[in-house]
Amino acid sequence: MRKRFTLAPTPFDTATLRAELLDARVGAYASFEGWVRDHNEGRSVRGLRYEAYARLAEAEGERIMEEALARFDILDARCVHRVGDLARGELAVWVGVTAAHRKAAFAACRWIIDEVKARVPIWKHERYADGEAGWLHPGP
Amino acid sequence: MRKRFTLAPTPFDTATLRAELLDARVGAYASFEGWVRDHNEGRSVRGLRYEAYARLAEAEGERIMEEALARFDILDARCVHRVGDLARGELAVWVGVTAAHRKAAFAACRWIIDEVKARVPIWKHERYADGEAGWLHPGP
Amino acid sequence: MGVRVTVLYFASLRDAAGQDAETFVTEAPDLRALYLELRARHGFPLPVERVRVAVDGEFAHWLDAPREGAEIAFLPPVSGG
Amino acid sequence: MGVRVTVLYFASLRDAAGQDAETFVTEAPDLRALYLELRARHGFPLPVERVRVAVDGEFAHWLDAPREGAEIAFLPPVSGG
Protein backbone atom coordinates (compact mmCIF):
# COMPACT_ATOMS: atom_id res chain seq x y z
CA MET A 1 0.00 0.00 0.00
CA ARG A 2 1.21 3.47 -0.90
CA LYS A 3 2.01 5.44 2.22
CA ARG A 4 0.39 8.85 2.52
CA PHE A 5 2.49 10.13 5.44
CA THR A 6 6.27 9.97 5.36
CA LEU A 7 9.19 11.13 7.46
CA ALA A 8 12.06 12.42 5.31
CA PRO A 9 15.61 12.42 6.68
CA THR A 10 16.81 14.51 3.72
CA PRO A 11 15.45 17.46 1.71
CA PHE A 12 12.58 16.41 -0.55
CA ASP A 13 11.10 17.68 -3.80
CA THR A 14 7.53 18.99 -3.64
CA ALA A 15 7.14 19.16 -7.42
CA THR A 16 7.47 15.38 -7.66
CA LEU A 17 5.08 14.82 -4.77
CA ARG A 18 2.55 17.17 -6.35
CA ALA A 19 2.83 15.45 -9.72
CA GLU A 20 2.06 12.10 -8.11
CA LEU A 21 -1.23 13.48 -6.78
CA LEU A 22 -2.61 14.87 -10.02
CA ASP A 23 -4.97 12.94 -12.25
CA ALA A 24 -7.89 13.66 -14.58
CA ARG A 25 -10.46 13.83 -11.77
CA VAL A 26 -8.62 16.61 -9.95
CA GLY A 27 -10.21 20.04 -10.12
CA ALA A 28 -8.52 21.53 -7.06
CA TYR A 29 -5.12 21.08 -5.45
CA ALA A 30 -4.33 22.78 -2.14
CA SER A 31 -0.93 22.60 -0.55
CA PHE A 32 0.80 23.85 2.54
CA GLU A 33 4.51 24.13 3.30
CA GLY A 34 6.17 24.97 6.59
CA TRP A 35 9.61 26.58 6.30
CA VAL A 36 12.35 27.30 8.81
CA ARG A 37 12.14 31.03 9.47
CA ASP A 38 14.99 33.29 10.48
CA HIS A 39 13.03 34.37 13.55
CA ASN A 40 10.72 32.70 16.04
CA GLU A 41 9.00 34.65 18.78
CA GLY A 42 11.42 37.50 18.44
CA ARG A 43 14.60 35.42 18.55
CA SER A 44 17.00 34.97 15.67
CA VAL A 45 17.02 31.29 14.71
CA ARG A 46 20.19 29.71 13.38
CA GLY A 47 18.76 26.29 12.64
CA LEU A 48 16.75 23.50 14.10
CA ARG A 49 16.46 19.80 14.53
CA TYR A 50 13.35 17.65 14.28
CA GLU A 51 13.36 14.41 16.18
CA ALA A 52 10.60 11.83 15.85
CA TYR A 53 9.48 8.64 17.50
CA ALA A 54 9.45 7.25 13.97
CA ARG A 55 7.43 4.11 14.58
CA LEU A 56 4.51 5.93 16.19
CA ALA A 57 4.89 9.08 14.09
CA GLU A 58 4.40 7.08 10.90
CA ALA A 59 1.40 5.18 12.30
CA GLU A 60 -0.25 8.33 13.68
CA GLY A 61 0.50 10.30 10.52
CA GLU A 62 -1.10 7.59 8.42
CA ARG A 63 -4.18 7.63 10.65
CA ILE A 64 -4.51 11.38 10.16
CA MET A 65 -4.44 10.94 6.38
CA GLU A 66 -7.06 8.20 6.52
CA GLU A 67 -9.25 10.32 8.76
CA ALA A 68 -8.93 13.23 6.32
CA LEU A 69 -10.07 11.00 3.44
CA ALA A 70 -13.10 9.94 5.48
CA ARG A 71 -13.99 13.43 6.78
CA PHE A 72 -13.61 15.49 3.61
CA ASP A 73 -14.78 15.11 0.02
CA ILE A 74 -11.25 14.80 -1.34
CA LEU A 75 -9.54 12.52 -3.84
CA ASP A 76 -6.18 12.01 -2.15
CA ALA A 77 -3.71 13.58 0.27
CA ARG A 78 -0.05 13.31 1.20
CA CYS A 79 2.17 14.70 3.94
CA VAL A 80 5.94 14.63 4.28
CA HIS A 81 7.72 15.85 7.42
CA ARG A 82 11.47 16.40 7.62
CA VAL A 83 13.48 14.98 10.49
CA GLY A 84 17.09 15.72 11.43
CA ASP A 85 19.01 18.98 11.15
CA LEU A 86 17.52 21.84 9.11
CA ALA A 87 19.02 25.23 8.29
CA ARG A 88 17.09 28.47 7.95
CA GLY A 89 15.12 28.52 4.71
CA GLU A 90 14.73 24.75 4.54
CA LEU A 91 11.39 23.05 4.04
CA ALA A 92 10.12 21.37 7.23
CA VAL A 93 6.73 19.96 6.23
CA TRP A 94 4.55 19.68 3.11
CA VAL A 95 0.88 18.77 2.77
CA GLY A 96 -0.83 18.26 -0.60
CA VAL A 97 -4.54 17.55 -1.12
CA THR A 98 -6.53 16.94 -4.29
CA ALA A 99 -10.29 17.20 -4.70
CA ALA A 100 -12.92 17.87 -7.30
CA HIS A 101 -13.66 21.25 -5.71
CA ARG A 102 -11.63 23.82 -3.82
CA LYS A 103 -13.62 24.03 -0.61
CA ALA A 104 -12.84 20.45 0.45
CA ALA A 105 -9.22 20.71 -0.71
CA PHE A 106 -8.58 23.78 1.45
CA ALA A 107 -10.44 22.44 4.48
CA ALA A 108 -8.65 19.07 4.42
CA CYS A 109 -5.22 20.65 3.88
CA ARG A 110 -5.71 22.94 6.85
CA TRP A 111 -7.06 20.10 9.00
CA ILE A 112 -4.16 17.79 8.17
CA ILE A 113 -1.42 20.25 9.12
CA ASP A 114 -3.26 21.15 12.33
CA GLU A 115 -3.61 17.47 13.29
CA VAL A 116 -0.01 16.67 12.37
CA LYS A 117 1.21 19.49 14.59
CA ALA A 118 -1.03 18.40 17.45
CA ARG A 119 -0.74 14.62 17.31
CA VAL A 120 2.38 13.30 15.60
CA PRO A 121 5.31 12.61 17.95
CA ILE A 122 7.85 14.97 16.44
CA TRP A 123 9.82 17.48 18.49
CA LYS A 124 11.56 20.66 17.41
CA HIS A 125 14.88 21.74 18.85
CA GLU A 126 15.80 25.34 17.99
CA ARG A 127 19.26 26.84 18.02
CA TYR A 128 19.40 30.62 18.36
CA ALA A 129 21.95 33.13 17.11
CA ASP A 130 22.81 34.06 20.72
CA GLY A 131 24.06 30.51 21.31
CA GLU A 132 21.10 29.26 23.31
CA ALA A 133 19.11 26.25 22.24
CA GLY A 134 16.14 24.29 23.48
CA TRP A 135 13.29 21.92 22.85
CA LEU A 136 9.87 23.34 22.08
CA HIS A 137 7.22 21.70 24.24
CA PRO A 138 4.10 23.81 23.74
CA GLY A 139 1.99 24.26 26.87
CA PRO A 140 -1.65 23.26 27.14
CA MET B 1 6.66 47.36 -9.94
CA ARG B 2 6.45 43.58 -9.80
CA LYS B 3 3.00 42.43 -10.82
CA ARG B 4 1.24 40.06 -8.43
CA PHE B 5 -1.55 39.02 -10.78
CA THR B 6 -0.84 37.80 -14.30
CA LEU B 7 -2.73 36.33 -17.23
CA ALA B 8 -0.78 33.53 -18.91
CA PRO B 9 -1.47 32.67 -22.55
CA THR B 10 0.70 29.53 -22.29
CA PRO B 11 1.29 26.82 -19.65
CA PHE B 12 3.29 28.13 -16.70
CA ASP B 13 5.59 26.58 -14.13
CA THR B 14 4.43 26.75 -10.51
CA ALA B 15 7.81 25.65 -9.10
CA THR B 16 9.43 28.84 -10.42
CA LEU B 17 6.58 31.00 -9.13
CA ARG B 18 6.80 29.38 -5.72
CA ALA B 19 10.58 29.84 -5.57
CA GLU B 20 10.15 33.56 -6.25
CA LEU B 21 7.94 33.89 -3.18
CA LEU B 22 10.22 32.22 -0.65
CA ASP B 23 12.61 34.13 1.56
CA ALA B 24 14.03 33.87 5.07
CA ARG B 25 10.97 35.43 6.75
CA VAL B 26 8.58 32.81 5.36
CA GLY B 27 7.29 30.27 7.84
CA ALA B 28 4.20 29.22 5.90
CA TYR B 29 3.40 28.87 2.21
CA ALA B 30 -0.14 28.02 1.10
CA SER B 31 -1.01 27.42 -2.52
CA PHE B 32 -4.03 26.57 -4.59
CA GLU B 33 -4.25 25.22 -8.11
CA GLY B 34 -7.34 24.83 -10.26
CA TRP B 35 -7.11 22.09 -12.91
CA VAL B 36 -9.25 21.19 -15.91
CA ARG B 37 -11.20 18.13 -14.80
CA ASP B 38 -12.49 15.39 -17.06
CA HIS B 39 -16.02 15.98 -15.77
CA ASN B 40 -18.07 18.99 -14.75
CA GLU B 41 -21.57 18.65 -13.35
CA GLY B 42 -21.89 15.14 -14.70
CA ARG B 43 -20.76 15.90 -18.26
CA SER B 44 -17.57 14.65 -19.83
CA VAL B 45 -15.37 17.65 -20.62
CA ARG B 46 -13.09 17.55 -23.66
CA GLY B 47 -11.41 20.89 -23.08
CA LEU B 48 -12.08 24.51 -22.42
CA ARG B 49 -11.20 28.03 -23.32
CA TYR B 50 -10.70 30.98 -21.00
CA GLU B 51 -11.30 34.40 -22.43
CA ALA B 52 -10.51 37.59 -20.52
CA TYR B 53 -11.03 41.30 -20.86
CA ALA B 54 -7.30 41.54 -20.27
CA ARG B 55 -7.05 45.23 -19.48
CA LEU B 56 -9.63 45.11 -16.69
CA ALA B 57 -8.76 41.57 -15.58
CA GLU B 58 -5.19 42.60 -14.84
CA ALA B 59 -6.27 45.75 -13.00
CA GLU B 60 -8.92 43.95 -10.95
CA GLY B 61 -6.59 41.00 -10.23
CA GLU B 62 -3.93 43.40 -8.98
CA ARG B 63 -6.49 45.11 -6.73
CA ILE B 64 -7.42 41.74 -5.23
CA MET B 65 -3.77 41.01 -4.41
CA GLU B 66 -3.33 44.44 -2.82
CA GLU B 67 -6.50 43.98 -0.78
CA ALA B 68 -5.24 40.57 0.40
CA LEU B 69 -1.98 42.14 1.57
CA ALA B 70 -3.95 44.74 3.53
CA ARG B 71 -6.52 42.31 4.99
CA PHE B 72 -4.28 39.44 6.06
CA ASP B 73 -1.01 39.18 7.99
CA ILE B 74 0.89 37.82 5.00
CA LEU B 75 4.27 38.53 3.44
CA ASP B 76 3.42 38.27 -0.24
CA ALA B 77 1.02 36.68 -2.72
CA ARG B 78 0.81 35.86 -6.43
CA CYS B 79 -1.85 34.62 -8.78
CA VAL B 80 -1.55 33.45 -12.39
CA HIS B 81 -4.61 32.62 -14.51
CA ARG B 82 -4.41 30.88 -17.87
CA VAL B 83 -6.25 32.23 -20.89
CA GLY B 84 -6.79 30.55 -24.23
CA ASP B 85 -7.40 26.88 -25.00
CA LEU B 86 -6.80 24.29 -22.27
CA ALA B 87 -6.98 20.52 -22.49
CA ARG B 88 -8.14 18.21 -19.69
CA GLY B 89 -5.48 17.95 -17.03
CA GLU B 90 -4.04 21.40 -17.67
CA LEU B 91 -3.50 23.96 -14.95
CA ALA B 92 -6.03 26.82 -15.10
CA VAL B 93 -5.13 28.97 -12.10
CA TRP B 94 -2.50 29.12 -9.37
CA VAL B 95 -2.42 31.14 -6.13
CA GLY B 96 0.59 31.24 -3.81
CA VAL B 97 0.75 33.04 -0.46
CA THR B 98 3.58 33.40 2.03
CA ALA B 99 3.27 34.39 5.68
CA ALA B 100 5.04 34.00 8.99
CA HIS B 101 2.24 31.69 10.20
CA ARG B 102 -0.09 29.22 8.55
CA LYS B 103 -3.44 30.65 9.59
CA ALA B 104 -3.02 33.85 7.60
CA ALA B 105 -1.48 32.01 4.63
CA PHE B 106 -4.47 29.66 4.33
CA ALA B 107 -7.06 32.39 4.88
CA ALA B 108 -5.53 34.71 2.30
CA CYS B 109 -5.07 31.94 -0.28
CA ARG B 110 -8.70 30.92 0.03
CA TRP B 111 -9.87 34.53 -0.09
CA ILE B 112 -7.83 35.34 -3.20
CA ILE B 113 -9.16 32.45 -5.29
CA ASP B 114 -12.73 33.21 -4.18
CA GLU B 115 -12.35 36.87 -5.15
CA VAL B 116 -10.66 36.05 -8.46
CA LYS B 117 -13.52 33.74 -9.38
CA ALA B 118 -16.11 36.33 -8.36
CA ARG B 119 -14.59 39.56 -9.66
CA VAL B 120 -12.06 39.12 -12.46
CA PRO B 121 -13.53 39.39 -15.99
CA ILE B 122 -12.58 35.92 -17.27
CA TRP B 123 -15.06 33.58 -18.91
CA LYS B 124 -14.93 29.83 -19.33
CA HIS B 125 -16.14 28.09 -22.47
CA GLU B 126 -16.46 24.33 -22.05
CA ARG B 127 -16.50 21.76 -24.84
CA TYR B 128 -18.12 18.44 -23.98
CA ALA B 129 -17.47 14.96 -25.29
CA ASP B 130 -21.00 14.86 -26.76
CA GLY B 131 -20.10 17.73 -29.08
CA GLU B 132 -21.95 20.45 -27.23
CA ALA B 133 -20.19 23.56 -25.97
CA GLY B 134 -21.11 26.70 -24.13
CA TRP B 135 -20.12 29.66 -22.01
CA LEU B 136 -20.46 29.39 -18.25
CA HIS B 137 -22.28 32.40 -16.86
CA PRO B 138 -23.06 31.51 -13.24
CA GLY B 139 -26.41 32.76 -12.01
CA PRO B 140 -26.89 34.99 -8.99
CA MET C 1 -25.75 64.83 -31.38
CA GLY C 2 -24.31 61.39 -30.71
CA VAL C 3 -20.88 60.29 -29.46
CA ARG C 4 -18.60 57.80 -31.17
CA VAL C 5 -17.88 54.77 -28.96
CA THR C 6 -16.24 51.38 -29.34
CA VAL C 7 -18.13 48.54 -27.72
CA LEU C 8 -16.38 45.27 -26.77
CA TYR C 9 -18.27 41.98 -26.58
CA PHE C 10 -17.20 38.96 -24.55
CA ALA C 11 -18.23 35.33 -24.22
CA SER C 12 -21.93 34.73 -24.97
CA LEU C 13 -22.42 38.38 -25.90
CA ARG C 14 -19.70 38.09 -28.54
CA ASP C 15 -21.25 34.92 -29.89
CA ALA C 16 -24.60 36.71 -30.18
CA ALA C 17 -23.10 39.85 -31.72
CA GLY C 18 -20.99 37.80 -34.14
CA GLN C 19 -18.05 40.14 -33.53
CA ASP C 20 -15.49 41.13 -30.87
CA ALA C 21 -16.12 44.83 -31.09
CA GLU C 22 -17.85 47.51 -33.07
CA THR C 23 -17.46 51.27 -33.33
CA PHE C 24 -20.47 53.49 -33.95
CA VAL C 25 -22.18 56.71 -32.98
CA THR C 26 -24.79 56.43 -30.25
CA GLU C 27 -27.37 58.80 -28.90
CA ALA C 28 -28.18 56.58 -25.90
CA PRO C 29 -28.42 58.81 -22.79
CA ASP C 30 -26.67 56.26 -20.53
CA LEU C 31 -24.89 52.90 -20.68
CA ARG C 32 -28.01 51.04 -19.63
CA ALA C 33 -29.98 52.42 -22.55
CA LEU C 34 -27.07 51.56 -24.85
CA TYR C 35 -27.04 47.95 -23.63
CA LEU C 36 -30.80 47.60 -24.07
CA GLU C 37 -30.52 48.99 -27.59
CA LEU C 38 -27.72 46.55 -28.49
CA ARG C 39 -29.51 43.68 -26.82
CA ALA C 40 -32.52 44.28 -29.05
CA ARG C 41 -30.28 44.53 -32.12
CA HIS C 42 -28.07 41.47 -31.44
CA GLY C 43 -30.41 39.27 -29.40
CA PHE C 44 -28.13 39.11 -26.34
CA PRO C 45 -29.17 36.24 -24.06
CA LEU C 46 -28.50 38.18 -20.84
CA PRO C 47 -30.79 40.80 -19.25
CA VAL C 48 -29.07 43.98 -18.10
CA GLU C 49 -29.39 42.87 -14.45
CA ARG C 50 -26.88 40.02 -15.08
CA VAL C 51 -24.33 42.16 -16.90
CA ARG C 52 -21.72 44.64 -15.64
CA VAL C 53 -20.31 47.49 -17.62
CA ALA C 54 -16.79 48.89 -17.86
CA VAL C 55 -15.44 52.02 -19.54
CA ASP C 56 -11.82 52.41 -20.60
CA GLY C 57 -10.75 49.41 -18.54
CA GLU C 58 -12.53 50.28 -15.28
CA PHE C 59 -15.90 49.24 -13.89
CA ALA C 60 -18.53 51.89 -14.59
CA HIS C 61 -22.11 52.68 -13.63
CA TRP C 62 -25.12 51.96 -15.79
CA LEU C 63 -26.34 55.54 -15.46
CA ASP C 64 -23.05 57.02 -16.71
CA ALA C 65 -23.43 58.71 -20.10
CA PRO C 66 -21.36 57.38 -23.01
CA ARG C 67 -18.31 59.59 -23.60
CA GLU C 68 -16.80 60.44 -26.96
CA GLY C 69 -14.09 57.93 -27.87
CA ALA C 70 -14.85 55.61 -24.91
CA GLU C 71 -14.11 51.88 -24.96
CA ILE C 72 -17.23 50.32 -23.45
CA ALA C 73 -17.23 46.66 -22.38
CA PHE C 74 -20.30 44.67 -21.44
CA LEU C 75 -19.32 41.90 -19.04
CA PRO C 76 -21.40 38.73 -18.63
CA PRO C 77 -21.23 36.89 -15.27
CA VAL C 78 -17.61 35.79 -14.89
CA SER C 79 -16.46 32.16 -14.66
CA GLY C 80 -12.69 32.18 -14.19
CA GLY C 81 -10.85 29.98 -11.72
CA MET D 1 8.62 -10.05 40.59
CA GLY D 2 9.35 -7.29 38.10
CA VAL D 3 9.17 -7.15 34.31
CA ARG D 4 11.97 -6.25 31.94
CA VAL D 5 11.15 -3.19 29.83
CA THR D 6 12.94 -0.86 27.44
CA VAL D 7 12.17 2.81 27.93
CA LEU D 8 12.72 5.36 25.15
CA TYR D 9 13.41 9.02 25.89
CA PHE D 10 12.78 11.87 23.49
CA ALA D 11 13.61 15.57 23.31
CA SER D 12 13.93 17.23 26.76
CA LEU D 13 13.43 13.89 28.50
CA ARG D 14 16.37 12.42 26.62
CA ASP D 15 18.52 15.42 27.49
CA ALA D 16 17.63 14.95 31.16
CA ALA D 17 18.17 11.18 31.09
CA GLY D 18 21.43 11.57 29.22
CA GLN D 19 20.53 8.61 26.99
CA ASP D 20 18.13 7.55 24.21
CA ALA D 21 16.91 4.41 25.93
CA GLU D 22 17.53 2.09 28.82
CA THR D 23 16.48 -1.45 29.60
CA PHE D 24 15.79 -2.52 33.17
CA VAL D 25 13.49 -4.50 35.42
CA THR D 26 10.66 -2.52 36.98
CA GLU D 27 8.17 -3.34 39.69
CA ALA D 28 6.07 -0.24 39.02
CA PRO D 29 2.37 -1.23 39.03
CA ASP D 30 1.49 1.03 36.11
CA LEU D 31 3.07 3.35 33.53
CA ARG D 32 2.27 6.41 35.60
CA ALA D 33 4.18 5.08 38.58
CA LEU D 34 7.04 4.14 36.27
CA TYR D 35 7.21 7.69 34.89
CA LEU D 36 7.16 9.22 38.37
CA GLU D 37 9.96 6.90 39.44
CA LEU D 38 12.09 7.80 36.40
CA ARG D 39 11.28 11.46 36.78
CA ALA D 40 12.66 11.38 40.32
CA ARG D 41 15.74 9.50 39.15
CA HIS D 42 16.55 11.62 36.04
CA GLY D 43 15.08 14.97 37.03
CA PHE D 44 12.69 15.17 34.07
CA PRO D 45 11.45 18.74 33.60
CA LEU D 46 7.88 17.67 32.69
CA PRO D 47 5.13 16.63 35.12
CA VAL D 48 3.20 13.50 34.13
CA GLU D 49 0.19 15.62 33.14
CA ARG D 50 2.15 17.08 30.22
CA VAL D 51 3.46 13.75 28.95
CA ARG D 52 1.84 10.96 26.91
CA VAL D 53 2.88 7.35 26.96
CA ALA D 54 3.15 4.77 24.18
CA VAL D 55 3.80 1.05 24.30
CA ASP D 56 5.20 -0.88 21.36
CA GLY D 57 4.55 1.96 18.97
CA GLU D 58 0.95 2.75 19.96
CA PHE D 59 -0.49 5.27 22.40
CA ALA D 60 -1.19 3.63 25.76
CA HIS D 61 -2.92 4.50 29.05
CA TRP D 62 -1.13 5.63 32.17
CA LEU D 63 -2.91 2.99 34.23
CA ASP D 64 -1.76 0.12 31.96
CA ALA D 65 0.71 -2.20 33.71
CA PRO D 66 4.19 -2.58 32.20
CA ARG D 67 4.42 -5.81 30.20
CA GLU D 68 7.47 -8.06 29.94
CA GLY D 69 9.58 -7.04 26.96
CA ALA D 70 7.58 -3.88 26.22
CA GLU D 71 9.06 -0.84 24.47
CA ILE D 72 7.74 2.10 26.48
CA ALA D 73 8.04 5.64 25.15
CA PHE D 74 7.39 8.80 27.15
CA LEU D 75 6.32 11.58 24.83
CA PRO D 76 6.75 15.26 25.73
CA PRO D 77 4.33 17.79 24.16
CA VAL D 78 4.95 17.58 20.41
CA SER D 79 6.19 20.45 18.25
CA GLY D 80 6.35 19.20 14.69
CA GLY D 81 5.14 21.17 11.69
Chains that touch B (3 or more CB pairs under 8 A): A, C
* Partner residue facing A37 (CB), from B18, B100, B109: B100
ipTM (interface predicted TM): 0.93
- Give the B window 26-55 contacts with A, CB below 8 Å: 26-39
Give pLDDT, residue C37.
Answer: 97
Give pLDDT, residue A85.
Answer: 96
DSSP reduced 3-state for B58: helix
pLDDT, mean of residues A27-49: 92
Cβ–Cβ gap B53/C50 under 8 Å: no
- Selection from C19, C62, C24 nearest residue C42 by Cα: C19
Residue C79 Cα, gap to closest chain B Cα (Å):
5
Residue ranges of chain D with per-residue pLDDT less than 50: none
Give pLDDT, residue B40.
Answer: 83
Best CATH choice for the domain C3-75 from the list 3.10.20.30, 2.40.50.110, 3.40.50.2300, 3.30.1300.10? 3.10.20.30
pLDDT, mean of residues B15-36: 95
Per-residue confidence band for B42, with pLDDT thresholds at 50, 70 and 90: confident
Q: What is the pLDDT along chain C (81 residues), one digit of tens a residue?
A: 799 999 999 999 999 999 999 999 999 999 999 999 999 999 999 999 999 999 999 999 999 999 999 999 999 999 999
Number of domains in chain A: 1
pLDDT tens digits, A47-98: 999 999 999 999 999 999 999 999 999 999 999 999 999 999 999 999 999 9
Does A1 score more than 70 pLDDT?
Answer: no
Does A140 score more than 80 pLDDT?
Answer: no
Cβ–Cβ gap D10/A53 under 8 Å: yes
Residue C44 Cα, gap to closest chain B Cα (Å):
13
The helix (H) or strand (E) run that includes residue C67 is: none
Alpha-carbon span D59 to D69, nearest angstrom:
17
A6 or A1, greater pLDDT: A6
Give pLDDT, residue A139.
Answer: 84
CATH of the domain at B102: 3.90.1170.40
Alpha-carbon span A94 to A82, nearest angstrom:
9
Alpha-carbon span B38 to B87, nearest angstrom:
9
Give pLDDT, residue D1.
Answer: 74
Which structural domain range is residue B47 located in?
5-136
Give pLDDT, residue B1.
Answer: 61
pLDDT tens digits, A105-115: 999 999 999 99
Does B139 score more than 90 pLDDT?
Answer: no
Collect all residues from D whose CB is shorter than 8 A from any CB in A.
8, 10-12, 15, 46, 50, 54, 57-59, 73, 75-81
* Partner residue facing A28 (CB), from B18, B34, B38: B34
Buried/exposed B36-74: b ≥16 CB within 10 Å, e otherwise: bbbebeeeebbbbbbbbbebbbbbbbbebbeebbeebeb
Cβ–Cβ gap B140/C50 under 8 Å: yes
Alpha-carbon span C64 to C1, nearest angstrom:
17
Residue A13 Cα, gap to closest chain D Cα (Å):
17
Residue B106 Cα, gap to closest chain C Cα (Å):
17
pLDDT, mean of residues A43-49: 91
